[in-house]
Amino acid sequence: MTQSWQLWAVLSAVFSALVAVWGKLGVEGLDTRLVTAIRTTVVLVMAWGVLWAFGGADKLREVPARGWFFLVLSGLATGLAWLCYYHALILGDASQVAPVDKLSVVLAMAMAFVFLGEKITPAKLAGGALILAGVLVLAWPSPAPGPAAGEAGGPGRQSAPPGGEPAAGGRPKGNG
């Protein structure tokens, strides 16, 4: 097995992209908790299967208490992240949810500085800023130009759908 972290990171990115696309295809009409439970079961079976097939299960007793503590916390964070991610996929487009999820890169860099004492370098700052800028560009595109003030549906005017009346706050009834 190659020891190039870059190769493994690229493979991780490819599989993460598939998570977004396949996840979006799989969540339609389902509850976030059910989706997360199904995915977690698949990951659980796969992870233990890989461990047993390629070795390493015999080292389970060697994991120190501190390791268990932080791995359990990491697992809880993973579960919460998955719940949030799948709920976001249910509500939004994969092409918008996935970039926002990658804010985790910037947050991990900041947390590594604060909690792990890792150094902040100009390259890390620039990279983090570029990731943040990319997220903002991809996930929050500027709204399409709408009607001008005074035009039907523009600021200061309330329009209703055919056969409907505006509800409180100017939003037409029945158009969630």
- Per-residue pLDDT reduced to its tens digit, 28-75: 899 999 999 999 999 999 999 999 999 999 999 999 999 999 999 999
CA separation for the pair 172, 152 (Å, rounded): 13
Residue 98: enclosing H or E segment and its boundaries? helix 94-101
Cα dihedral: 106, 111, 117, 121 (round 10): 20
Residue predicted with more confidence, 104 or 143? 104
Residue 144's φ and ψ, nearest 5 degrees, are: -65, 145
Average model confidence (pLDDT) across the chain: 84
pLDDT at 151: 56
Q: What is the DSSP string of 100-144?
A: HHTHHHHHHHHHHHHHH-PPP-HHHHHHHHHHHHHHHHHHSPPPP
3-class SS of residue 49: helix
